[in-house]
Amino acid sequence: MTVNLNIVPFVSVDRMMKLVLAIGTERFVLELATYIEEDFRRWELFDKTPRIASHSVDGVIELMPTSDGQLYGFKYVNGHPKNTRDGRQTVTAFGVLADVGNGYPMLLSEMTILTALRTAASSAVAAKYLAPEAARCMAIIGNGAQSEFQAIAFKALLGVDRLRLYDIDPAASAKCMKNLAGMGFDIKLCASAQEAVEGAEIITTVTADKRSATILTDNMVGSGVHINAVGGDCPGKTELHRDILLRSDIFVEYPPQTRIEGESQQLDADHPLTELWQVMTGKAVGRTDARQITLFDSVGFAIEDFSALRYVRDQLQRTGLYEELDLLADPDEPRDLFGMLLRAEKATGLAVAGS
C-alpha cells in the first residue's frame, strides 16, 4: 500500500463486495470469526465504553470506539427501523482504524456490509461455546437484511444446515430462502414463530421494530436450546418475554451496555450476566448440561468492529481491493499548513484571502 502520508486506504461498498466475493462469503466469515475470538481472548487489554448514542423518536445514531493500545478503531452506525418504508437501509455504517502512535488513520471503510458479516460471525462464535453439541437446526425469526448472514455463519462455524424461517412479512422469508438456495440448506418456511421454533436447537431472533415486542413467549422455549437474541439493541427494544430470561443462563459482550440496550434491560440491575470473553478464556463456564437454556444477549460491541476492521486491513495488501483517498493534509513543513494554501493559490489561480 502507498506510503504517502496524505493517503488513507478506503474500502468502498463496491470494493467491499469484491473483497467478500474474492475471499468467498463462508471463508470470509470463518476468518473474521478467528479475529473476533482472538480479540475476545485479550479483552482485558482494550479500552471499553458503552456506545455513544444519540436517540430520537425515529432511531439512533451511535459511535462505537475502542483501542488495544496500538490500534484505535471506531464505527459510526445508525438504526432507523422505519427506513425500509422509504427504500433505505435500517442500518448503515462506516469505520476507521488508526495508529495510536501517531494518530493517523490507516483505514476508512464502509461497514454496512461489514457489520452484517461481523454480527453474524460474533453470533456464531458465541454459539460455538454455548449451543447444544452437534446442533444442526436453527430457527431464524426476522428474515430481513441480517438473516442470510446469520445462516451462512452458523453453517460455516457450527455445521447448521437446517433452517426454519419466519417473518411477519412472508415476502421477506421467501427472499431469504431464494438467496440461500444452492448453499446446502434444507429450508422450511413457517407460518408463525411458534412453528419456526419447533424442533430447532438454536433460535435466532433478529427483528427490527424499535419497540418492546414479544417475539418469543415463555411457552415457546423448551429446555436445551440456545437463543441467539440479535434484534434487541437499544433502550425500549426487546424481543423476548422476561420469563425466558429468568429461565436462561445469559451471556453478553459488555454488561454496562447490554443492561441498557439488550434483552437484559428487562431484568434487575444485579441479575447475573456472564461475559463471553470469560467463557472463551476459561474464567467462566458456558453450557454445562443438555437441558440448559443458554442466551446470547447480543447488542454488538466496538471490539467486534475493531476485529472486523483489522481483518479487512490485513486483506488489502494481498488483494489490492481499496482506493487511495486523499484525506490528510501533508504540508512540506508540518508547521506550515497555511503555506499549502498559498502554494495551491499559485497552482490553481484561486485567491486564498478572497478577491
- Measured between alpha carbons, how far is 350 from 341 in angstroms, rounded to an integer? 10
Compute, in degrees rounded to 10, the torsion defined by CA atoms 60, 8, 33, 172: 50
| Single-letter amino acid, residue 85 | R
Distances in Å between the alpha carbon of 83 and those of 61, 77, 147, 259?
13, 14, 18, 26
| Single-letter amino acid, residue 290 | A
Q: Do residues 33 and 21 lie in contact, with contact meaning Cβ atoms separated by under 8 Å?
A: no
Q: Do residues 41 and 280 lie in contact, with contact meaning Cβ atoms separated by under 8 Å?
A: yes
Cα–chain center distance at 301: 8
CA angle 24, 30, 31 (to 5 degrees): 85
Three-state SS at 104:
coil
Provide the grid cell at 336. Answer: 506550515
- The alpha-carbon radius of gyration of the chain (Å, integer) is 22
- Measured between alpha carbons, how far is 19 from 311 in angstroms, rounded to an integer? 11
Cα–chain center distance at 22: 21
- Measured between alpha carbons, how far is 312 from 301 in angstroms, rounded to an integer? 17
Q: Write down how long the chain is.
A: 355
CA-nearest of 47, 49, 53, 54 to 98 is 47
Three-state SS at 49:
coil
In which region does residue 106 sit, left (phi positive, over 0), alpha (psi from -120 to 50) or beta (all else)?
A: alpha
Which residues are paired to 141 by β-bridges? 166, 205
Catalytic center residues: 233
